[in-house]
């Protein structure tokens, strides 16, 4: 975001089209580069959440799994706020995994 964008925001004007272009490109390229469709990403997100939920109680509403890209490197970024741990011993873990 640039200084102009902030002033525009304060004045209730639209963001400059260049910064919209920048944001849209960053998002679409993150997907293009790893060749992952939004559906697959969503499926992966759900499976990741399932796995994590076996070990810790997470705030599903707040959780986010997204792709970010910088310098032609794409990273899968998961931000999952943990409420509390569910697992104390490894046998516990086997039960919940059934």
Partner 1 sequence: METNTRIILICSGKGGVGKTTLTANLGIALARQGVCTAVLDADFGLRNLDLLLGLENRIVYTAQEVLEETCRLDQALVKHKQEPNLSLMPAGNPRMLDWLKPKDMQRIVDMLSEKFDYVLIDCPAGVEDGFRNAVAASKEAIVVTNPEVSAVRDADRVIGLLNTHGVKPVQLVLNRVRPKMIASQEMLSVDDVTDILALPLLGLVIEDEQVIVSTNRGEPLTLTGGNSPAARCYSNIARRLQGEEIPLIDPSKQGSGVRDKLKRLMQTKIF
Exactly one of 4, 46, 54, 83 binds partner 1 (CB under 8 A); that residue is 4
Q: Which residues fall within 8 angstroms of residue 55, CB to CB, at 6 or more apart?
A: 85, 86, 87, 93
Rounded CA gap, 40 and 52, in Å? 18
Q: Which residue has the tokens 């959440």?
A: 49
Distance of closest approach, residue 10 Cβ to partner 1, in angstroms: 13
Binding mask 10-49 for partner 1 (x = CB under 8 A): ------xxxx-xx-xxx-xx--xx----------------
**Residue indicated by tokens 């599903």:** 60
Interacting residues toward partner 1 by CB under 8 A: 1-7, 16-19, 21-22, 24-26, 28-29, 32-33, 71-72
């Amino acid at each position: 975001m640039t200084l102009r964008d902030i002033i525009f925001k304060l004045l209730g004007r639209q963001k400059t089209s260049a910064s919209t272009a920048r944001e849209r490109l960053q998002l679409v390229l993150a997907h293009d580069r790893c060749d992952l469709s939004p559906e697959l990403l969503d499926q992966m997100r759900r499976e990741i959440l399932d796995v994590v939920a076996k070990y810790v109680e997470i705030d599903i509403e707040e959780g986010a799994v997204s792709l970010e890209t910088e310098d032609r490197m794409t990273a899968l970024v998961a931000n999952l706020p943990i409420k509390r741990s569910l697992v104390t011993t490894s046998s516990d873990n086997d039960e919940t995994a059934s």
